[in-house]
Amino acid sequence: MRIMFGLTSILITASACSNPDPELQQRLGSVVYSTYCHSCHEAPGTGPRLTPAVLASRLDAARLYTYNQQQMPYNAAETLSDEDYLNVTAWLLVRANLLAPNTTLSMRNMETFLLTPPNEEASPSTPKP
């Protein structure tokens, strides 16, 4: 019930050109993920683990969104709403620490969020012989 109400208010807020609440976007995104993505993307699923490095390889949030929409769910691409793709993309990025949790991802701002891959583990310095 709360989720239904939330979706409605996202649509209303989106059409009024202001940003929906980031917390709400995260909650909705997590529901999309557990409903449509989790079965393949958590071990022992058939899809790859969506690690920070894997997500960051898409370069920016807009490209990740487009990939998700055009390729996922695998064999059922483009079956979710734009809002669902947006919310799940935001949720994946926040979970991976690639987007600040107080950010609302939108169609307008997503190109501005560049995805910086997490630092490689600093290679241990070689001890001098």
Residues of this chain that bind ligand HEC (CB under 6 A): 36-37, 39-41, 46-48, 50, 54, 57, 67-68, 72-75, 88
Token code pair at residue 56: 């960051």
Nearest approach in angstroms of CB 84 to ligand HEC is: 8
How far is it, in rounded angstroms, from Cα 127 to Cα 83? Answer: 53
Judged by CB, which is closer to ligand HEC: 40, or 126?
40
Nearest approach in angstroms of CB 44 to ligand HEC is: 12
Judged by CB, which is closer to ligand HEC: 11, or 54?
54
Nearest approach in angstroms of CB 18 to ligand HEC is: 26
Q: Who's near 93: CB < 8 A, 6+ residues apart? A: 55, 61, 64, 99, 105, 113, 115
User: What ranges in the chain are assigned the alpha helix state H?
Assistant: 2-15, 22-36, 38-41, 52-56, 61-71, 82-95
Judged by CB, which is closer to ligand HEC: 3, or 40?
40
